């Protein structure tokens, strides 16, 4: 083993977002299988756990009072209230993993991603979309859970979301999951090579001593 300079760097916050039906969840799962060194951000919620869901793994299950204290104490990278339940991203576990040099994956909707960018400007925003509007519609129709009205609503919503694309660092067309996950993996590897993550003076000093 040759002597090699270590890049003592912070991790990146990788935000994977896109319209409902984009396949962002499937891509995240594929990534986590392939890259064992990623840390998945776990959301907090005030809804009840469903059978089989584990606290701290699927969600952090909190009481409303606890959640509202986190909002008040600015301990969430983003939060929203949906159908009477709070959902949000606790900042502390993210910052802790990043300070240990771990890249954190956060899968979130487009509105949430914008809030995260505000609270953590150094994050890397990746936008996932299906290969066409037609394909998006097919994917939403394929979900037996959604009514025709719901699908129309989601398509209209997706149209608005795609206009947010210029705010994103990267766009990945999810034509095929393995290929899209491979592109996201390349993005994660590339972002690890950013000298902005380094303390340059420390790096140069250490380098020149080796």
**Which residues contact its own copies (rule: CB under 8 A)?**
2-5, 7, 126-127, 129, 131-135, 159, 162-163, 165-166, 168-173, 175, 183, 185-187, 189-191, 193-196, 198, 200, 203-204, 207-210
Nearer residue to its own copies within complex by CB, 32 or 171: 171
Nearer residue to its own copies within complex by CB, 42 or 184: 184
Nearer residue to its own copies within complex by CB, 104 or 158: 158
Q: Shortest distance, CB of residue 61 to its own copies, whole angstroms? A: 35
Q: Shortest distance, CB of residue 191 to its own copies, whole angstroms? A: 7
DSSP H or E segment with residue 126: strand 124-129
Q: Shortest distance, CB of residue 5 to its own copies, whole angstroms? A: 6
Nearer residue to its own copies within complex by CB, 82 or 190: 190
Q: Shortest distance, CB of residue 195 to its own copies, whole angstroms? A: 4
Q: Please name the residues in contact with 46: beta carbons below 8 A apart, sequence gap of 6 or more.
A: 61, 62, 63, 64, 67, 85, 86
Contact 13, 106 (CB under 8 A): yes
Q: Shortest distance, CB of residue 55 to its own copies, whole angstroms? A: 35
Long-range interactions of 100-103: CB distance < 8 A, separation 24+? 100/11, 101/8, 101/9, 101/10, 101/11, 102/11, 102/37, 102/38, 102/39, 103/11, 103/12, 103/13, 103/14, 103/37, 103/38, 103/39, 103/188, 103/191, 103/192
Nearer residue to its own copies within complex by CB, 61 or 203: 203
Give dist(CA 66, CA 62) in Å, integer: 6
């Amino acid at each position: 083993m040759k002597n090699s300079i270590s890049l003592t760097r912070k991790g990146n916050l990788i935000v994977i977002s896109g319209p409902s039906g984009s396949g962002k969840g499937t891509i995240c799962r594929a990534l986590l299988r392939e890259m064992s060194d990623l840390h998945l951000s776990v959301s907090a919620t005030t809804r009840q756990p469903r059978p089989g869901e584990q606290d701290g793994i699927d969600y952090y299950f909190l009481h409303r009072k606890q959640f509202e204290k986190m909002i008040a104490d600015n301990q969430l990278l983003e939060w929203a209230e949906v159908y009477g339940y709070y959902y949000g991203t606790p900042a502390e576990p993210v910052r802790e993993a990043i300070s240990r040099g771990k890249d954190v994956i956060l899968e979130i909707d487009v509105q949430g991603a914008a809030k995260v960018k505000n609270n953590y400007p150094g994050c890397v925003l990746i936008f996932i979309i299906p290969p066409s509007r037609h394909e998006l519609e097919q994917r939403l129709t394929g979900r037996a859970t959604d009514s025709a009205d719901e699908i129309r609503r989601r398509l209209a919503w997706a149209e608005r979301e795609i206009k947010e694309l210029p705010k994103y660092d990267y766009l990945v067309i999810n034509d095929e999951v393995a290929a899209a996950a491979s592109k996201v993996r390349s993005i994660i590897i590339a972002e690890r090579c950013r000298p902005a993550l380094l303390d340059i003076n420390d790096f140069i000093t250490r380098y020149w001593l080796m």
